[in-house]
Every structure is written in structure tokens, then in C-alpha cells.
Amino acid sequence: PTAADSGASASASFRSTSQYSGDGAGSDTARVDALARALLGAVHQVISDHEVTYPEFQAAKKWLMDVGEGGEWPLFLDVFVEHAVEEVAARKQTGTVGTILGPYYLPDQVQLTTPATLPARPDEAGTPLAFRGQVTDTTGAPVPGAVLDIWQADEQGYYSGFAPDIPAGNLRGVVTADDQGHFEITTIQPAPYQVPTDGPTGALISAAGWHPWRPAHLHLLVSAPGYRTVTTQLYFAGGEYLDSDVAEAVKPELVLDPTDVGDGSREVTYNFVLERN
């Protein structure tokens, strides 16, 4: 998979997913004035403090054009900026801790009922994982019929829909829990994710001497009528890059520690708490 594959797909997906259209952002002149002024002011301050030169300014302009032409704005913004927006939103939230959505969510995936197995190739590589739990409200009462929309990378760190040669819908599913909010989802453990190194986002990462990795993770949207949807990710204890996620989206409450069952598979329980709207 190349940066062009995943970048362009992420841009197309963002544009077609009306849920994330930006409706609700408002168009209040005073707000736009304040935000645009502060953002430009921060840029001017960096230029002044670091005595940015004309060649550096032109290189930055070229790089910004490349990000757009390569379709990498969703990737770049979700890796380097989304965590700050999420942290602001989290200030007003209770229930299960959230984290960033990222660029690789796709709506309308296969609908499954617990106990569910995510769609996988016949020869899907990776350690089998049984992921169980219960969805409750903030009083501990079960939330009947809660829905877990789950997506993840495969054992090579690639997402279906954003890399060639992976069947559509692979390792994605929308799982309805039972009437007590219990769910059981069988999948495989994902691998860490590497930001594509052949595009402009990867070029910046390597030019700055950073690493391009996110720790292995499962993505989830947990929802039920009348409750705020939790957007989160779950990570794996002992995994690489847990302490140095390029996207800065790891929170300690979100780290799973699966146990070996003995037959080569692993299992883990994680419960979700939803707050009322």
C-alpha cells in the first residue's frame, strides 16, 4: 500500500461521510475572527521566534500543496491535530474514556449480533482474540441492544478500504449486544500502524527524525438510542509504541491486557459506560 492509496481513499471517505461534514460548526463572524486571528498569530510567532527564512517558507508552501494533492489532509490532521480537539471535548464527558476517530472509519459495514466474528480472510494471519464485555449506563444498569461499530488493521497494520488486496469490509463490523448489553466479538489482534512513509506526511516525519508508528489498536464507536456515542480505541499492554504514539491518542484507561487461553488464542473483557444525551 502506498501513501497515495490510503491518502486518496481517506479523503474520499471523509467527503462522503455526511456525519463528519462539519455541519454544526456554525458561521459566527466573531468566532471565525478569533480562531483565524489566533491561528495566524501563532504561525507568525513561530516565524519570528525561529527566524524562518524565505527558502523555508517556500519549502513549507510546497509541502502544504503536496499534502492536499496527495489527499493526505485527513491523515495528517487526524495524526497530529485531532487529539487536541478530542481532549477539549473530553472535558465535558463522563462514561468510558474516548480518543480520536482517525481517518479509516467506514460507515455501513456488515451488521452482526453477539456472539459475532468479524469478517476475515480464510487465511487471516494474527493471534485470535475473544473480546467480551458489557455496555452499561453511568448508574451501572445494562444498556440493552447497544451497538459496537468496530474496525481495525490486520496483522500487517493495513485497513480494508485503504490498502489494495484486502477484501471490502475485512475486520470491520457493526455488532449488536444482547438485551443485557453483553457482547462477544471474535477477531485477531491487530499490528501496530505505520503512517505511509512515501507521502508528504511521512516525509515530514522522517525529515524531523520522528517515528511513524501508532501502537496496535481496535477502533470502536459504542452507541445506543438516548446515549452519547463513545468514539474510542483500545490498545494492548506491552505492545510497541504505547508510550510514543505518533498520534498521541493513548490513554491509560484504554489499554487491554488479554490473557492466553492456552490454545494459541487470547481473551479479554472490557466494559463500556455510556452517558445519557
The footprint of Fe ion on residues 93-132 (CB under 5 A) is 102
With CB under 6 A as the contact rule, the residue among 131, 146, 214, 216 that binds ligand MBD is 214
Interface with ligand MBD, residue 73, by CB under 6 A: no
Sign of the dihedral through C-alpha 113, 15, 36, 57: positive
Block residue for cell numbers 491486557: 257
Interface with ligand MBD, residue 191, by CB under 6 A: no
The footprint of ligand MBD on residues 78-97 (CB under 6 A) is 78-79
The smaller minimum CB distance to ligand MBD, of residues 79 and 242, is found at 79
The smaller minimum CB distance to ligand MBD, of residues 75 and 146, is found at 75
Contacted entry of Fe ion, ligand MBD, none for residue 158, CB cut-off 5 to 8 Å set by kind: none
Stretch that binds ligand MBD, among 34-42, 49-57, 100-108, 251-259 (CB under 6 A): 100-108
**Dihedral angle computed from the Cα positions of residues 104, 14, 66 and 160, in that order, rounded to the nearest 10 degrees:** 30
Of all residues in the shown chain, the one whose CB is closest to ligand MBD is 102
Q: How far apart are CA 251 and CA 244, in angstroms?
A: 12
Residues contacting 3, CB < 8 A, separation 6+: 70, 72, 196, 197, 198, 199, 200, 201, 202
The smaller minimum CB distance to Fe ion, of residues 175 and 224, is found at 175
Interface with ligand MBD, residue 266, by CB under 6 A: no
Interface with Fe ion, residue 192, by CB under 5 A: no
Block residue for cell numbers 452499561: 136
Strands 213-214 and 266-269: unpaired
Interface with ligand MBD, residue 236, by CB under 6 A: no
Cis peptide before 115 (omega within 30 of 0): yes
Interface with ligand MBD, residue 104, by CB under 6 A: yes
DSSP assigned state of 180:
T
The smaller minimum CB distance to ligand MBD, of residues 135 and 247, is found at 247
The smaller minimum CB distance to ligand MBD, of residues 234 and 247, is found at 247
Q: How far apart are CA 213 and CA 206, in angstroms?
A: 12
Q: How far apart are CA 173 and CA 148, in angstroms?
A: 8
Residue numbers of the site for ligand MBD (CB under 6 A)?
A: 75, 78-79, 100, 102-104, 193, 214, 247, 249
Residues interacting with Fe ion, by CB under 5 A? 102
